[in-house]
Chains A and B, each alone.
Chain A
Amino acid sequence: MSTQMHAITVTVNGKQYSRQVEGRLLLSDFLRHDLLLAGTHVGCEHGVCGACTVIFDGAPVRSCLMFAAQTDGHRIETVEGLAADRDHLHPLQQAMRDCHGLQCGYCTPGILMTMKVFLEDNPNPDEAQIREALSGNLCRCTGYQHIVEAVQLAAERMRK
């Protein structure tokens, strides 16, 4: 795999970073270990679990399936950019807490980023639609029920 270096400039959570990266460096590793934004988690590195999901130019993508070098000139949002600080959570984060939508919390950042875009596209989803939208993210702890409830609650609060 390519070890050639590439210069990139990428905007992550509104902040610009310029870095030299190896061609083969995964976006997930770049975010976690180069930019020290470790909130994006890695569960499989083969595109199935969804834990590594970030928002790339407004669309959810799996950061383990992209190279850092592909992000030059693009805009990325990660879980660290969802809320200003721990005391002012995004409505999705707040609803996840209120409904006990997380246990170990390892899958949670990927689910938050996936659901953020989903609710922007579909502000008033029913349970079946939420389950469908969630089905690309694996959670081994919660059995999903409280996550579904949290997304419903967040949608309701965000519509107000």
Chain B
Amino acid sequence: MNVATRNFGAPIRRNEDPRLLSGQALFVDDVELPGMLYAAFLRSNVAHARIRSIDVAAARARDGVAAVYTAADLGDYWAPGPLLVPPPPIEGITFNQRTQVPLAKDKVRHVGEPLAVVLAQSRYLAEDALNDIAVELDPLPAVVDLEKALTGEARVHDDVRGNVAARVRQCRGDYAAARSRAKHVIARRFHYDHGASSPIETRGIVASWDARANQLTIWDTTQAPVFLRNGLAGMLGLSERQVRVIAPFVGGGFGPKIMLFYPEEVVIPWAAKRHNCPIKWIEDRLEHFFATTQERGQTHDAEIALDADGRILGVKDVFLHDTGAYNPYGLTVPINSQCTLLGPYVIPSYDSTFTAIFTTKPIVTPYRGAGRQHGVFVIERLLDIAAHELKIDRVEIRRSNLIPPDAFPYNNEIIYQDFAPLTYDSGNYEPILDKALAMIGYRTFLAGEQQKLRAQGRHVGVGVACYVEGTGIGPYEGAKVQVQANGRVSVATGIGTQGQGHFTSFAQIVADQLGVEVPDVDIVTGDTDQFYWGAGTFASRGAVVAGNAVNEAAKAVRQKILKLAAEHFECAEEDLEIANGEVSVTGVPGQAIKLGALALKANPMRGAVKPGAEPGLESTQYFGPPSGATASGVHAMIVEVDPQTFALDVLKYVVVHDCGTVINPLILAGQIHGGVAQGVGNAFYERLVFDDDGQLLNASLADYLLPTALEVPHMDIAHTVTVSPLNPLGIKGAGEAGAIPVGPLFAQAIEDALGLLDRDVELNEIPLSPGRLFELTAKLR
């Protein structure tokens, strides 16, 4: 019999909302325990210095202070953190591993690096005591500019010459030969700066040691609870079963909350064990700008070789990547930039080299898009400039270079962040482009509308940008599905959730398999005692990898239900149907049993069970995709620019997206809206401004501008579907797509609105802003 897809694909309201809407969802800072101490960290206020001394005596003596610790107090526990992602197996690679430390010992390497921690009766008292600590620092020159970092004297790590964290070259085909054949070669320098993820909930951790049970419980805003548990157990000399990590409701993550181990995550559990009491630390917004990882800048020197018709023969790119003071996340961000540059296009030859550079700035790890934006910006800008120089329509140059639908799976012949060759599983790009053009009204806009508006003195332009996104990478996730005696179904997975709607999308999958309603399925995520194994929520992989694990487990439970019910009714499994929370014999009224009753039967109190039988209606299954699934899309917009103030008004914004099979279109739309909003911030409003001393000059939400409801446009979204052959549900991830192509889209549309390319002004950097546009157009005045 077939499984009905009543819920899969439907815009179902979310299971988790009533708790969140009524203020009853548990976030980390909501955890209050008797006898709790509160932590505050003393952080370096300079970017680069040798530590001469730290005197904590006065702080220790203050009323209400339980303890003050520096690196020296940590003893053997003090150690640099692990390398989370080792470099991929690429020939000739240079990689210098330097990971962050729990509390700075000899040197500080960025503003905000922790020097000491105070534990006190309240956070207020802990912060009072920070003022009592006397620190003597010998300042060193800051390392801020990437090119100067390579040649200058100052070293972030004394033994790393030129501050080179890594150097990687990847090639496909023979670029030099392609270049010599080319009719046109266009070379430019591009700067792309990404920013701070800025979830509205900052980071936090509560650790509680129960000496009677020998058990450590951690509540943490992490995106990777299982890894956090494993690492903490190792550091503290405990077995994994003695550590329980709970990632409760988390107020947005977007990447940086997957970083491990933040210094606070090392220090607070250690202190909780030592003091035998619960300890809480919650990051404040100022700390968030320094103490949480961020993304930042790359400088690309790129060139594209084309034939007379605008066909791409090859691309060469040499770029510098700012990795910050340490590199615990390996090469994920720059490898993503390197790979995603290839986009949806046939690029027969590619020669790409990057150098990752240590600077005295906060650590760089993936933030939504994770370096993909930088690569997409380069190729999209190169195509815009090429179209202009070759006098080809911007859209047509893209169309003529798209990978054709019969070329999948398409191998790009370089290595991706998951260590596998960068192969696109499936896709059909031209219909996406056509749909976006139709929705934005590209032809009619250019054929007359724009002219008409210009005649009225209005500066309105159109932009179109394409991208692909590698999603849903391994290694694996698992899920346990269990029918409860009351008929409800419980599901546990190892991933954490930060608003992606997993409580609902996973319930939809289960509800269809087991014939129950979505609200009857209870999902637990991010509690290592509920589900032991897993990797985490990153790289747009939750729905793909955990979703398929949930599906496999639900299918196995379905088989158990049918088998047991067939025995119960003494009929064939084919004669049974599962619906409305019960199993019934098809066509025989009254012959039905509730799932809950069947679950009780599966766990008998007396009698013999057959050898090999397992009690209960439950199953645990795992899913690991062979490689990542590639989603794709096109964004288009029409924007009006005020030529005096350079204020923007986005008149229309269109997203056409292919992420394979869709579980819940409402949740998917939300993911795309949110991604675009962050893309808009990145393109035009958010810039981390560091001065030459490595000081961040705008570390507040009043100065670092997150887009509000007035800056984020209304979006029209449409989908095409090419299913992924890499997983049974055919899903591709969608978490990051919205954010990826917004930068080049803004640059192109603003150029068009102001007619800049005709006047030799190119917008080859992101973020832009009114002020920056004023500067870049100076020569026109």
Q: Which residues of A contact B (CB under 8 A)?
A: 22, 24-25, 32-33, 36-49, 51, 78-80, 82-83, 85-87, 89, 93, 96-98, 100, 102-109, 112, 127, 130-132, 134-148
**A72 CB → nearest B CB, Å:** 20
Query: Which listed residue (B19, B285, B667, B706) contacts A100, Cβ 8 A?
Result: B667
The reply to whether B712 and A143 form a contact with Cβ atoms under 8 Å apart is yes
Q: Which residues of chain A are within 8 angstroms of B18 by Cβ–Cβ distance?
A: 86-87, 89, 97
Q: Which residues of chain A are within 8 angstroms of B670 by Cβ–Cβ distance?
A: 100, 103, 141-143, 146
Given contacts A51-B200, A140-B254, A143-B674, contact A93 B709 (CB under 8 A): no
Cα(A106)–Cα(B25), bound, Å:
9
B629-658, CB under 8 A of A: which get 1 and which 0? Answer: 000000000000000000000000000000
Given contacts A140-B252, A146-B670, contact A134 B199 (CB under 8 A): no
- Secondary structure of the A side of the interface? loop
The reply to whether B708 and A104 form a contact with Cβ atoms under 8 Å apart is no
Q: Which residues of chain A are within 8 angstroms of B175 by Cβ–Cβ distance?
A: none
Query: In chain B, what residue has the closest Cβ to A112?
Result: B21
Q: Which residues of chain A are within 8 angstroms of B199 by Cβ–Cβ distance?
A: 104, 106, 140
Cα(A148)–Cα(B530), bound, Å:
37
The reply to whether A143 and B285 form a contact with Cβ atoms under 8 Å apart is no
The reply to whether B677 and A143 form a contact with Cβ atoms under 8 Å apart is yes
The segment from B41-49, B237-245, B371-379, B496-504 found at the interface with A is B496-504
Interface residue ranges of B668-693 to A (CB < 8 Å): 669-670, 672-678
Asked whether B715 is an interface residue with its Cβ less than 8 Å from the other chain, the reply is yes
Interface residue ranges of B1-46 to A (CB < 8 Å): 11, 13-14, 16-25, 27, 29-30, 32
**A57 CB → nearest B CB, Å:** 20
Q: Which residues of chain A are within 8 angstroms of B201 by Cβ–Cβ distance?
A: 41, 43, 104, 106
Q: Which residues of chain A are within 8 angstroms of B13 by Cβ–Cβ distance?
A: 97-98, 100
Query: In chain A, what residue has the closest Cβ to B19?
Result: A86
Q: Which residues of chain A are within 8 angstroms of B249 by Cβ–Cβ distance?
A: 104-106
Q: Which of A43, A46, A143, A144 has the most CB of B within 10 A?
A: A143
10 further contact pairs, Cβ within 8 A, besides A85-B22, A89-B22, A106-B499: A36-B32, A41-B27, A51-B200, A105-B251, A106-B200, A108-B20, A135-B708, A138-B708, A140-B706, A145-B714
Query: In chain B, what residue has the closest Cβ to A22?
Result: B124
Q: Which residues of chain A are within 8 angstroms of B678 by Cβ–Cβ distance?
A: 140
Given contacts A38-B29, A104-B249, A135-B709, contact A80 B23 (CB under 8 A): yes
**A2 CB → nearest B CB, Å:** 11
Asked whether B434 is an interface residue with its Cβ less than 8 Å from the other chain, the reply is no
Interface residue ranges of B122-169 to A (CB < 8 Å): 124
Cα(A48)–Cα(B27), bound, Å:
21
B755-775, CB under 8 A of A: which get 1 and which 0? Answer: 000000000000000000000
Asked whether B451 is an interface residue with its Cβ less than 8 Å from the other chain, the reply is no
Asked whether B702 is an interface residue with its Cβ less than 8 Å from the other chain, the reply is yes
Asked whether B352 is an interface residue with its Cβ less than 8 Å from the other chain, the reply is no
- Secondary structure of the B side of the interface? loop
Task: Report, nearest first, the 6 A-B pairs whose CB atoms are least far apart.
Answer: A39-B23, A106-B251, A104-B499, A105-B20, A143-B673, A103-B499
Interface residue ranges of B478-530 to A (CB < 8 Å): 498-501
The reply to whether A103 and B677 form a contact with Cβ atoms under 8 Å apart is no
Query: In chain B, what residue has the closest Cβ to A132?
Result: B710
Cα(A145)–Cα(B670), bound, Å:
8
Q: Which residues of chain A are within 8 angstroms of B674 by Cβ–Cβ distance?
A: 103, 140-143
Q: Which residues of chain B are within 8 angstroms of A93 by Cβ–Cβ distance?
A: 21-22
The reply to whether A106 and B710 form a contact with Cβ atoms under 8 Å apart is no
Cα(A41)–Cα(B11), bound, Å:
28
Q: Which residues of chain A are within 8 angstroms of B222 by Cβ–Cβ distance?
A: none
Cα(A81)–Cα(B13), bound, Å:
23
The reply to whether B200 and A140 form a contact with Cβ atoms under 8 Å apart is yes
Q: Which of A43, A80, A103, A139 has the most CB of B within 10 A?
A: A103
Q: Which of B199, B202, B674 has the most CB of A within 10 A?
A: B674
Asked whether B701 is an interface residue with its Cβ less than 8 Å from the other chain, the reply is yes
Q: Which residues of chain A are within 8 angstroms of B124 by Cβ–Cβ distance?
A: 22, 24-25
Asked whether B700 is an interface residue with its Cβ less than 8 Å from the other chain, the reply is yes
Query: In chain A, what residue has the closest Cβ to B284?
Result: A45
The reply to whether A96 and B21 form a contact with Cβ atoms under 8 Å apart is yes
**B714 CB → nearest A CB, Å:** 6
The reply to whether B200 and A43 form a contact with Cβ atoms under 8 Å apart is yes
Cα(A47)–Cα(B702), bound, Å:
9
Q: Which residues of chain A are within 8 angstroms of B202 by Cβ–Cβ distance?
A: 43
Q: Which residues of chain B are within 8 angstroms of A41 by Cβ–Cβ distance?
A: 27, 200-201, 251
Query: Which listed residue (A36, A42, A112) contacts B29, Cβ 8 A?
Result: A42
Asked whether B412 is an interface residue with its Cβ less than 8 Å from the other chain, the reply is no
Given contacts A104-B249, A108-B20, contact A140 B198 (CB under 8 A): yes
Asked whether B65 is an interface residue with its Cβ less than 8 Å from the other chain, the reply is no
The reply to whether B715 and A145 form a contact with Cβ atoms under 8 Å apart is yes
Given contacts A100-B14, A100-B666, A103-B499, contact A78 B23 (CB under 8 A): yes
Q: Which residues of chain A are within 8 angstroms of B672 by Cβ–Cβ distance?
A: 143
Cα(A114)–Cα(B113), bound, Å:
37
The reply to whether A46 and B710 form a contact with Cβ atoms under 8 Å apart is no
Q: Which residues of chain A are within 8 angstroms of B702 by Cβ–Cβ distance?
A: 46-48
Q: Which of A93, A106, A135, A140 has the most CB of B within 10 A?
A: A140
Asked whether B250 is an interface residue with its Cβ less than 8 Å from the other chain, the reply is yes
Query: In chain A, what residue has the closest Cβ to B714?
Result: A145
Query: In chain B, what residue has the closest Cβ to A134?
Result: B709
The reply to whether B701 and A48 form a contact with Cβ atoms under 8 Å apart is yes
**A160 CB → nearest B CB, Å:** 20
The reply to whether A147 and B32 form a contact with Cβ atoms under 8 Å apart is no
Chosen A-B contacts, 16 in total, with CB atoms closer than 8 Å, are A25-B124, A44-B700, A44-B701, A48-B700, A48-B702, A82-B22, A89-B21, A97-B17, A100-B11, A100-B669, A104-B250, A105-B16, A107-B200, A141-B252, A142-B670, A143-B712
Given contacts A100-B13, A138-B200, contact A145 B673 (CB under 8 A): yes
Q: Which residues of chain A are within 8 angstroms of B252 by Cβ–Cβ distance?
A: 103-104, 106, 140-141
Interface residue ranges of B528-558 to A (CB < 8 Å): none
The reply to whether A86 and B22 form a contact with Cβ atoms under 8 Å apart is yes
Query: Which listed residue (B22, B667, B701) contacts A49, Cβ 8 A?
Result: B701
Q: Which residues of chain B are within 8 angstroms of A148 by Cβ–Cβ distance?
A: 709, 714
The reply to whether B285 and A105 form a contact with Cβ atoms under 8 Å apart is no
The reply to whether A105 and B709 form a contact with Cβ atoms under 8 Å apart is no
**A122 CB → nearest B CB, Å:** 15
Cα(A51)–Cα(B285), bound, Å:
13
The reply to whether A109 and B23 form a contact with Cβ atoms under 8 Å apart is yes
The reply to whether A142 and B673 form a contact with Cβ atoms under 8 Å apart is yes
Cα(A151)–Cα(B673), bound, Å:
17
Query: In chain B, what residue has the closest Cβ to A131?
Result: B709
The reply to whether B30 and A38 form a contact with Cβ atoms under 8 Å apart is yes
The reply to whether B285 and A44 form a contact with Cβ atoms under 8 Å apart is yes
Cα(A48)–Cα(B701), bound, Å:
6
The reply to whether B701 and A138 form a contact with Cβ atoms under 8 Å apart is yes
The reply to whether A46 and B285 form a contact with Cβ atoms under 8 Å apart is yes
Q: Which residues of chain B are within 8 angstroms of A80 by Cβ–Cβ distance?
A: 22-24
The reply to whether B21 and A146 form a contact with Cβ atoms under 8 Å apart is no
Q: Which of A42, A87, A135, A141 has the most CB of B within 10 A?
A: A141
Interface residue ranges of B710-738 to A (CB < 8 Å): 710, 712, 714-715, 738
Q: Which residues of chain A are within 8 angstroms of B285 by Cβ–Cβ distance?
A: 43-46, 49
Q: Which residues of chain B are within 8 angstroms of A145 by Cβ–Cβ distance?
A: 673, 712, 714-715
**A82 CB → nearest B CB, Å:** 7
The reply to whether A96 and B251 form a contact with Cβ atoms under 8 Å apart is no
Cα(A104)–Cα(B19), bound, Å:
11
Cα(A44)–Cα(B675), bound, Å:
21
**A115 CB → nearest B CB, Å:** 11
**A47 CB → nearest B CB, Å:** 8
**B739 CB → nearest A CB, Å:** 10
**B269 CB → nearest A CB, Å:** 22
B377-408, CB under 8 A of A: which get 1 and which 0? Answer: 00000000000000000000000000000000
